[in-house]
Structure 1
Amino acid sequence: MNNSIKPKGIVVFSGGSAANNLVDVFKTVRENKRCPLSYVIPISDNGGSSSELIRVFGGPGIGDVRSRLVRLIPDDPDHDDSEKAAIKIFFNHRLPKDKELAKQEWLQIVEANHALWGNISTAKKELIRSFLNLINFEILKRLRPSSTFNFSSASIGNLFLTGARLFSGSFESAIYLLSSICSVPSHTLVLPAISTNHTHHISAGLQNLITITGQNSISHPSVPSPLEPNPSEHEETEMHDRIEDANLPGSLPTLRKQYIAFSKEGEEDLPARIERIWYINPYGQEIRPPANPRVIDALDSAQAVIYSIGSLYTSIVPSVILKGVGEALARASIRYKILILNSTNDRETGPSSSPLTALDFIAAIAKAAASSRGPGFVREVEKREYKAYVTHLIHLQGQGTPRVDKEELAELGVECIRVYGRRVGDEPFLRYDEKALTQALEVTIGRRDVRLERNRRNTLEG
C-alpha cells in the first residue's frame, strides 16, 4: 500500500522581466522541496508590440507569459543542446524598429530564409512555421485601407502565441504548445491570471481622484484619461471608429492606441499615490472578472505563496484582485505568504517625495485581496488583517530601498528577513543575491517535508 503524500506546491505571483531574474532561485527552492511550482502572470499589459496584436486581433496581453515560458527553457550544463539555445533566441527575437525593415525580416522568417532557423530541427521548424504562416495569413486577411499591421519591434514569440491561440481558439492550448516546444518541465506551470480569449484592461484610481486608464498609461508617463469624455474626446473616439480593427466602436480612445515605442527611462512621478486598481470593459465601466480556475486550484494545493519583485500595481495586484483569489489566499492551509520587497521604488510606488514603505506594499496586497472577495470587502482593511495575506517579508537594506519597520510589522504578525544585496555595474539600485535569497526562502519554507521521505521509505521497506 502506497501511503505517500502528494507535496503541496509553491505559487509565485509575478510579472515578466523583473521576476525573470529570480527564476533560478524559485527553481532551486522547488527542487529542494520536490514540489510543483506555478507562476501566475497577469494578462492586462497593453504596451509595446503587444499593443499592436491587441489592436488588430484582440485577446489578452501575452508578452509576460511568453517571456516566462522562454525563460524556463532548461539549461543542461552537461550537454551541448544547441537547439534549446536556438529556440530561446528565436522566441525572444524582436524585429527591427524600422517598420519596413521589420516587415522584410518577418517575411524572411516566415519563408524559412532567416539565420534564426539555423540550429532548429526540421520537425520543430515546420511546426513553428505553420503557426507563423497562420498569423501572417490572418494579418493579410485583416488588412484594410484604414488599418495596416505594424511589425515594428514585434516579438516572434508573441506572434507565435497569437497564431496558436487563433488556431486552437484557446489561450491555454497555445501556452501548452509553446511550453512543449520550449521543453518546460511538467512540474512547473505558467498560468495566465485570467483564462480568456478577450482583452482585459485595468484602471488606476489615484488619491487625488484622478483615474488613469490602461496599464501602459499607469506604468509609463502619459496624460491621465478621465472616464467621462469631453467633446474633444468624442472627436477622438469618432476618429478611432473610422479605423477598422478589433476594437469595439465607441470604446475608450486610450485603449485603442499603439504603444509600440515607449521608454522606461526618466519616468515621471504620478501626481499622487495609487489608491486602487480595477478591471474595466472597453467603455471604461468597472467589471469583476474571475480568476483562471487553474490559479485557484494551484492556491488550494499550495504550501507557500510568493509575491515576487516587479511592478506592484501592474504585475502583482491585477492577479490578486481577481474574483476567488483573495478567499483562496486567506485560507490557513497556505502557511507561508511571502513578499519579496522591491529593492527600489518606481513610478507606481512613488511619488519620490513620499515613497511607499514595506508596510504600504503589504497594505496594497491586503486591500487587493480583500476587494477580490466582493463589494462588501472593498473598504479600508484593518492592519490586523494583513497577516491573512502576507506572513513574511524578505527585503534588502541600503540606499534607495523601501523603509522597513520590523517592530511594527512584527506586531502585525509579519516576520522580516533581511538578505544580502549586490550592485551590478553602475546601477543605482541593489539586486538580490541569488544564493542569499534562496537560503532565505528555504529557511522560511523549509527544504522538504520529511513525512514524504518517511512514507516513501516505509513503502520501499514494505
Structure 2
Amino acid sequence: MGKDHPGIVFFSGGTALAGLSGRLAEVNPECSYIITTFDSGGSSAQLRKVFDMPAVGDIRNRLISLADTRSPEKAEIVKLLATRFPKYGDKAALTGELQHLANGTHPLMENLSDVVRKILSDLFALFIKLAGDEFDPANACLGNIILAAGFMVHKRVLAPPIAQFSRLIRARGIVRAASLDSGHLAVRLQNGEIIAGQHLFTGKEVPPVPSPIDGMWACSGVNDPWPHSIHASSLAMMLIKEADLIVYPMGSFYSSILASLTPKGMGQAVSRNPCPKIFIPNLGYDPELLGHDVPLQIEKLLEVLRMDSPAEIKKESVLNTVLIDSVNGYYQDGLNLEALKKVDVKIIDRKLVSDKSDGLIDPDLLAPILMEFARQEEF
C-alpha cells in the first residue's frame, strides 16, 4: 500500500462514533471521516439562517473527538471550542460574553498563547460583525461559531476553516464535509407523511416519528420538501478513491449514515474503489430505525449507495461485508439472522459488546477488528 497505516474512511456524523474515532486516533492517523452537513435544529438552525451555510455541528464534534489533548494548551483550546452557551441564556449577557471572546479577555482564553488568542479573538470579532443583531447566542457552541466565521472569511468554502480547526487542536485524522451545498433532509413515512427538516425526524428535539421511515432525500429547506440536487464534495470523493477500507458505521441511520451518502456522486465514487466495504448495524435504540430489522437496513443502505446509477452500480461494488455480534448484541427491531444469511453479503460475527459498554459497541473491541479488515487480513 506504500503507507505506514491503512486508510480507513468512515461515513458518519453525530456522537455515536466519538469513542471509536478517539480510540483509532491513537493507533492510526490515516482514518478519515466524511460528515453530513444537513442538521436543521438547535443552534445549527440559527447559524444556517444567518449565513445560509451547511451545518457544521457534526464536523466540530468529530474534530474534537480526534483532538490531541496531551498538551495543556491544546486541552484549553478544546475546552473553549467545546463550550456551549446556556440554552435559555439572556441574549444581551451572552452577546457580552462573545464580545469578551472577541477582545481576548474571556476567562476561557487565559491560558492560551498570544498567537492562538489572536487567531480566535479575530474570528469571534468577525462573527459578531457579520452576524449583527440577527444571531441569538443561546445554546450556541463556540466551535461552531469559529467554523462559521472561517467559512465566511474563506468566501463560503468549508475546507480551510476545517483545516485551521484541525491544526489548532492537532486533530489525529482527516475530516471532510460530505457536501459543500447548503441542503436539508426530508423523509417520507410509511403512513404517507412527509417531513422536511432533520430535527423533526431524529426523535431528539421532538417526539419520535409515529411510522417507519420509508425514504429520504435532500431538499432545499425545512419549508420546501421538494427534492433538491446536492453534490458530493470533491475532497470527500478523493478520500474515497484512496481508501483501503470503507466503513458505514453505527450512528443515527438516516440522519447520519445515509445522509452522508446522499450527495450526488458519492455512491459512484464508492463503487469505483475495489477495497472492502463494511456495514456495522446499530446496537441499542435509534428512533430512526422504527420497523427496520438489519436486512431492511442493508436494503436501504444499498438503495442510497446505488442511487447515482442503479443499472450500473452493482451491489457487491458498494457493500460486501456486515459485521454483527449475534451473541451479545441487541438489535432494536431484530437481527433476523435467517433472513440476513440470505442477503448476498459476507456476514462476520464477532464480539463487539463488553461488560463495560452498556450494551453498545465497545471501541476497544471494534478498533482492532477494523484494523484487521483494513489490512485485508480477513478478506
The question of a shared fold, defined as TM-score above 0.5 by the shorter chain, is answered with yes
Deviations 1:216-264 (CA, angstroms, capped at 9, x unpaired):
11213xxxxxxxxxxxxxxxxxxxxxxxxxxxxxxxxxxxxxxxxxx55
* Alpha-carbon distance in 2 for matches of 1:119, 1:26: 29
Name the structure 2 match of 1:208: 191
**Which residue type is aligned with residue 187 of structure 2?**
A
Q: What RMSD in Å do the two structures reach over aligned CA positions? A: 2.6
Q: Select which of 12, 19, 22 maps to 2:20.
A: 22
**Which residue type is aligned with residue 114 of structure 2?**
T
Q: Select which of 15, 26, 41 maps to 1:47.
A: 41
2:81 aligned with 1:91: yes
Deviations 1:319-352 (CA, angstroms, capped at 9, x unpaired):
2122111122223612x211122112321111xx
In structure 2, the CA distance between the partners of 1:405 and 1:30, relative to structure 1 (3 Å rule), is farther
Unaligned runs of 5+ in 2: none
In structure 2, the CA distance between the partners of 1:82 and 1:386, relative to structure 1 (3 Å rule), is same
Q: Select which of 357, 360, 369 maps to 2:293.
A: 357
* Alpha-carbon distance in 2 for matches of 1:29, 1:84: 19
2:181 aligned with 1:189: no
Deviations 1:101-159 (CA, angstroms, capped at 9, x unpaired):
4223222322222211122111110111101100011122xx3xxxx321101111111
Name the structure 2 match of 1:344: 284
In structure 2, the CA distance between the partners of 1:372 and 1:277, relative to structure 1 (3 Å rule), is farther
Alignment: residue pair count: 369
Higher-Rg structure is 1
Deviations 1:177-209 (CA, angstroms, capped at 9, x unpaired):
111212224xx210100124xx21111011222
Q: 1:57-206 maps to which residues of 2 (within 5 A)?
A: 57-76=51-70, 81-97=71-87, 98-100=89-91, 101-140=93-132, 143=133, 148-169=134-155, 170-185=157-172, 188-196=173-181, 199-206=182-189
* Alpha-carbon distance in 1 for matches of 2:338, 2:69: 42
Q: TM-score, normalization: structure 2?
A: 0.89
Name the structure 2 match of 1:409: 340
Q: Select which of 7, 10, 16 maps to 1:12.
A: 10
- 1:28 positional shift: 5.0
8 Å CA contact retained: 1:345, 1:356: no
8 Å CA contact retained: 1:337, 1:389: yes
* Alpha-carbon distance in 2 for matches of 1:419, 1:298: 29
Deviations 1:288-347 (CA, angstroms, capped at 9, x unpaired):
22200111111112121111211110001112122111122223612x211122112321
* Alpha-carbon distance in 1 for matches of 2:95, 2:208: 36
8 Å CA contact retained: 2:201, 2:208: no
In structure 2, the CA distance between the partners of 1:441 and 1:417, relative to structure 1 (3 Å rule), is farther
- What secondary structure is seen at the aligned counterpart in 1 of 2:94? helix
Unaligned runs of 5+ in 1: 221-262, 450-462
* Alpha-carbon distance in 1 for matches of 2:113, 2:259: 39
In structure 2, the CA distance between the partners of 1:391 and 1:448, relative to structure 1 (3 Å rule), is closer
Report which stretch shifted further, 108-117 or 156-165.
108-117
- What secondary structure is seen at the aligned counterpart in 2 of 1:285? strand
8 Å CA contact retained: 1:424, 1:431: no
2:306 aligned with 1:370: yes
Deviations 1:5-32 (CA, angstroms, capped at 9, x unpaired):
357621101112111121134335636x
8 Å CA contact retained: 1:218, 1:348: yes
* Alpha-carbon distance in 2 for matches of 1:368, 1:137: 41
Name the structure 1 match of 2:201: 218
* Alpha-carbon distance in 2 for matches of 1:290, 1:27: 29
8 Å CA contact retained: 1:394, 1:440: no
- What secondary structure is seen at the aligned counterpart in 1 of 2:244? strand
